[in-house]
Amino acid sequence: MEKVKISVTVNGQTHHSEVEPRLLLVHYLREHLGLTGTHVGCDTSQCGACTVHVDGQAVKSCTMFAVQADGCQITTIEGLAADGKLHPVQEGFWEMHGLQCGFCTPGMIMAVVDLLNQNPNPSEAEIRHALEGNLCRCTGYHNIIKAVQYAAQKMAKAGMTAAAD
């Protein structure tokens, strides 16, 4: 199959690649760029494990072709910590035990950062609604909610926004 040239900025670094038009963005990130923090749980847009930010918005990267990301700015879980310091949402998951096996966690965290960008002080119902597209088979979600609340409070105190892009 003929390859297509794309140019994508991922975690601040621009990559020029040649990819097959059928290559999904999640496979491009994992296999071409080695960014395996973005997980594949289902490949059919059900689980949210593959969530990344495309131009600042949470997107399930198995629902997009790599060629559609041409010219876009992408942030993956690897790009979230700044200067070796965990993002408050990452810290929240750590402090509140918002994970067990960790498989869902990168996608969950990217979805939460997008939520807090849009709504810095969400209610519990708003958190649950925002994370409906992200499945976790381990935690029962309670500690994930606490992790989001932790991050929201921490960012409010510090006068921070969630933006990582």
Summarize as ranges the residues that interact with ligand FES (CB under 6 A).
40-43, 45-50, 60, 62, 99-105, 136-139
C-alpha 28/C-alpha 18 separation (Å) is: 10
C-alpha 14/C-alpha 162 separation (Å) is: 23
Q: Which is nearer to ligand FES, 116 or 136 (CB)?
A: 136
CB of 135 to ligand FES, least distance (A): 7
Q: Which is nearer to ligand FES, 73 or 100 (CB)?
A: 100
Gyration radius of the chain's alpha carbons: 16
CB of 4 to ligand FES, least distance (A): 22
CB of 89 to ligand FES, least distance (A): 15
Q: Which is nearer to ligand FES, 40 or 86 (CB)?
A: 40
Q: Which is nearer to ligand FES, 45 or 161 (CB)?
A: 45
What count of other Cβ atoms lies within 10 Å of the Cβ of residue 3? 12
Angle between helices 105-118 and 88-95 (to 10 degrees): 120
CB of 31 to ligand FES, least distance (A): 14
Nearest to 117 by CA among 64, 165, 79: 165
